[in-house]
């Protein structure tokens, strides 16, 4: 794409959007262009944010870091480079270990990941493929480590990023400098680039 399908809305003269930007500056370090694009129809932006808060709320053992690593694995399966970079940046900001960030591609075998985390990440991968890959083996391994409420939390993350993957790849959302930085730091060795989300 030569330009994003729809450009982010300018916050100038829009106090509501300025508040959103302030919120994301605290949580991510910048406001995603995707949110500023959604804000062309503010109810969509605010509905998304409420869903995001509900899904990402930490209820216990499914940590904030694990949720972001699941978001990364899910986004990698669908091919959304914008969301891959955002998710790995958020995983870093929410406490994922350096060894996990550096070896996320090798979660199935790397010692930095527990069996419970592997089950969750396998679930994220299987849930994000087309056709859907969740089968009895995935389900049984997941149930060994996680209860029903925790599985619901996890699938909430995967479904939320399904929405974001489609939004950002279809919009060709321009990736922000902070997300590019994280993508290059943690993912470039395995071939990550900004792809269609970078514009000259």
User: Residues 139-159: pLDDT tens digits?
Assistant: 999 999 999 999 999 999 999
For 23-32, 126-135, 190-199, which range has the lowest pLDDT when averaged over its residues? 23-32
What confidence tier does 20 reach under pLDDT thresholds 50, 70, 90? confident
Identify the domain containing residue 122 by its residue range: 61-190
Check residues 31 and 171 and name the one with the higher pLDDT. Answer: 171
The pLDDT value given to residue 190: 86
Question: Band of the pLDDT at 27, cuts 50, 70, 90?
Answer: confident
The answer as to whether 134 is a domain residue is: yes
Taking residues 171-176, report their average pLDDT: 96
Q: How confident is the model at residue 69, as a pLDDT?
A: 98
Q: For 131-196, what is the HEC assignment?
A: CCCCCHHHHHHHHHHCCHHHHHHHHHHHHHHHHHHHHHHHHCCCCCHHHHHHHHHHCHHHCCCCHH
53 belongs to a structural domain? no
pLDDT of residue 32: 93
Higher model confidence: residue 51 or residue 24? 51
- Round to whole Å and give the CA distance between 152 and 55: 9
What's the total number of domains in the chain?
1
User: Can you give the CATH number for the domain in which 173 is found?
Assistant: 1.20.1290.10
> What's the pLDDT band for 29 if we cut at 50, 70, 90?
confident
Task: Please state, in angstroms and rounded to a whole number, the distance separating the CA atoms of residues 98 and 124.
Answer: 21
Domain membership of residue 10 (yes or no) is: no
Q: Report the alpha-carbon distance of residue 146 to residue 138 in Å, rounded.
A: 12
Amino acid 114: pLDDT = 98
pLDDT in tens, 60-113: 899 999 999 999 999 999 999 999 999 999 999 999 999 999 999 999 999 999
Q: For a pLDDT cut of 70, what percent of the chain falls above it? A: 100
Is residue 10's pLDDT more than 90?
no
Establish if 2 belongs to a structural domain.
no
Contact in structure between 1 and 194 (CB atoms under 8 Å): no
Q: Please indicate, yes or no, if residue 196 is contained in any of the structural domains.
A: no
- Domain-located, residue 95: yes
79 domain residue, yes or no? yes
Average pLDDT, the chain: 94
Q: Is residue 49 part of a domain?
A: no
pLDDT value for 17? 83
């Amino acid at each position: 794409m030569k330009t994003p399908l729809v450009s982010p809305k300018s916050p100038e003269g829009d106090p509501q959007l300025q508040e959103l930007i302030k919120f994301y500056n605290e949580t991510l370090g910048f406001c995603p262009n995707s949110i500023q694009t959604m804000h062309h129809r503010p109810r969509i932006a605010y509905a998304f944010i409420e869903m995001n808060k509900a899904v990402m709320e930490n209820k216990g053992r499914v940590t904030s870091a694990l949720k972001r690593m699941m978001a990364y694995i899910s986004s990698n399966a669908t091919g959304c480079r914008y969301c891959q970079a955002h998710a790995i940046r958020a995983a870093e900001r929410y406490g994922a270990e350096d060894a996990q960030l550096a070896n996320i591609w090798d979660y199935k075998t790397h010692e930095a990941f527990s069996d419970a985390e592997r089950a969750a990440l396998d679930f994220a991968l299987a849930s994000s493929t087309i056709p859907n890959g969740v089968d009895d083996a995935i389900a049984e391994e997941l149930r060994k480590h996680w209860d029903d409420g925790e599985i619901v939390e996890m699938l909430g993350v995967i479904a939320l990023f399904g929405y974001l993957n489609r939004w950002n790849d279809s919009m060709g959302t321009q990736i922000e400098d902070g997300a590019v930085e994280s993508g290059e730091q943690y993912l470039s060795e395995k071939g990550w680039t900004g792809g269609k989300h970078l514009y000259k």
